[in-house]
A and B are shown apart, each in its own frame.
Chain A
Amino acid sequence: MSEARIERTELPEPRYEFGGDDHVFVELDRAMSFDANFRAMAITQQIAERDVEGVIEICPANASYMVRFDPDVVHPEAMVDELREIAAGTDISEYSWETRVVDVPVLFRDPWTHETLMEFRDRHQDPDATDLEYSARINGFETAEAFVDAFVGSPHMVTMVGFVPGLPWCFQMVPRSEQLEVPKYVQPRTATPSRAVGFGGAFSVVYPVQGAGGYQLYGRTPIEVLDVDQRLPDFRDSMVFPNPGDILNYRRIDRETYDAIREEVEEGTYEYAIEEVEFTPEAFFEAPHEYNEELTEVLAR
């Protein structure tokens, strides 16, 4: 495994598209790759740093980004020109950023997501299996346990935050040949427990609040990604915990540990295990498994 590298992806010409008269959507690639995502992150960080006039929202996404602007301040065509110029001056090879490695305990096969997924079997590709069993099978694993091993075996990077406040989309930090991939539900569910850990396309997510959803459901974390009242110490600065670029390290826990952590969260005393690191794409691309090991080791210290 140690010789596995992340193959670089040649990105096509970006597509600049207008969303009405006040949004520009920029598609960097139609497929997901670290190159597309890191480029979206680097460009949007540049837009923020330059404090571009007229910009109202800067929204990095998985392989694209979006800007909302005030067309009374900047003409849409001028906005695109500015974005093209910023893109031309941004190279991810020279880029690195400060980020956090975060421990995310997960109770897999928890009773709450199990009840939900059983309730919506009629909207699923494989009504006779659980979401985990189905995902394991189509990804070529012998058992659901082996699939969970792969899922927690390497960290996942937050490549986009959205849908609802605080929901992280995470892309596992492994070479393409090791990436897991699953379809979303045939028809979205009308209910998902809060803090459910799901997977769809090539992305893991943590659902911040109870609501609709279409990702395969595997487990539930006792920790919050959204704390509207900002009671927990790690939510002092923002009601939303994850940021694009964060690295989540999912960890298997048992029911006893789940309940113990949950109790601390409910009392408002739980503190997240977080380590700040400098992330360097080049080093990660070169030897991802070693790089990940170093990243996650800092949590164990």
Chain B
Amino acid sequence: MIDVLDGGISTTVQDLGRFGHYHIGVPPSGAMDRFSHEVANALVGNEPDAATLEMTYAGADLRFDEECVVALAGAPMPARLDGEDVPMHEAVRVDAGQELETEFTTEGARTYLAVSGGVDVPEVMGSRSTYTLVGIGGHEGRTLEAGDALSTGENGASPDAVVGNSAPEAHLRDFGKGDALRIVVGLCDYRLTDESREELCDVGWTVTPEADRVGYRLEGPELEFVEREQPFGAGTDPSNVVDVGYPIGSIQLPQKPIVLMRDAVTGGGYATVGTVISADRDLLAQRRTHETVHFESVTVEEALDARRARREALDAIRDALER
């Protein structure tokens, strides 16, 4: 058992996500930064889909009732185990009764804590991920609070083999605050004027405090829509289209852009104008409030190259570890 002493700001149980239910309005949920989630799991010898704790900005304080191995990955977060510093991206042995204390992330937004065997909560629709809006998955469908207790599973890995595992720095992803997030422009981008379509990738967008698992609301210049007589059923606002399904990572434009994240609404009537590529959604999930986001338009082939590079980095980390 893991006893939660302090839940932090927003800590939830997440795995790779819940699939096959989009058509009835159920978004995938799952780790916002899947790369870091997978790294944390790899360090303790778990499969990629084992459930981890996703801690946002300020982490949780936990007491472990039994011996296990844990690892932190993602946003650097100072942590101590019974007073001893816990390094990032390294598998650490925990004895029964030890307490883990964490502080605020020093950069980035989300830190993943993997525990050997994974966090064992019941699967809902094929996933352990928490989706708080309707309260399903994870621990009672909500963020963790003091007093909660979590079970862990078994992964068969020998603690002696995995303790000390450390992810090679060279393959870890740099949060690259200055780097542009790559997007494929399209979907309903015909709604934008040529100037605004260019502006989308030319200007810096500021992450507002309304940036969470549902979406990242961005602040920047007002984008202009092409004037038209609205098609039947769309509604009157120039940003309205006849309701469509929203891709995860898509940028919708109620006026100011919102990038839809893993707990997003699955569809609606706002024009979507492009989509953050699969490889870069992890990076957006690590942007903090008031940081700046730039978009760069890429082709689908370039997006596939980036996806491959991300996968190769994960494979290289896994290959470098003992199991």
Q: What residues make up the interface of A, taking CB atoms closer than 8 Å to B? A: 17-23, 25, 27, 29-33, 44, 56-66, 68, 71-72, 75-77, 160-167, 169, 171, 176, 179, 181-184, 186, 188, 200-203, 208-209, 211, 226, 228, 238-240, 242-244
Contacts and interface: CB of A to CB of B under 8 A. Distances in A.
A30 B22 contact: no
A21 B277 contact: yes
B133 A183 contact: no
B241 interface: yes
Contacts of B272: 19, 25
27 contacts: A17-B187, A19-B250, A21-B278, A25-B186, A25-B247, A27-B188, A27-B244, A30-B231, A57-B20, A59-B245, A63-B242, A64-B242, A162-B245, A163-B266, A164-B133, A164-B265, A166-B24, A166-B25, A167-B25, A171-B233, A179-B232, A201-B235, A202-B233, A203-B233, A228-B135, A239-B125, A240-B25
Nearest to A200: B235
Kindly name the residue among A19, A32, A239 whose own CB sees the greatest number of chain B CB atoms within 10 A: A19
Contact of B25 (A30, A56, A164, A184): A164
A77 B125 CA distance: 30
Interface stretch (B94-102, B152-160, B299-307): B299-307
Given A21-B304, A59-B266, A165-B134, A183 B245 contact: no
A104 B232 CA distance: 26
Nearest to A55: B20
A57 B250 contact: no
B186 A211 contact: no
Interface of B: 19-26, 125, 133-136, 141, 183-184, 186-188, 231-237, 240-245, 247-250, 254, 265-269, 272, 275-279, 300, 303-304, 307, 311
Contact of A184 (B231, B249, B269, B300): B269
Nearest to B269: A201
B235 to A, nearest CB: 4
Contacts of A27: 188, 244
A243 B237 contact: no
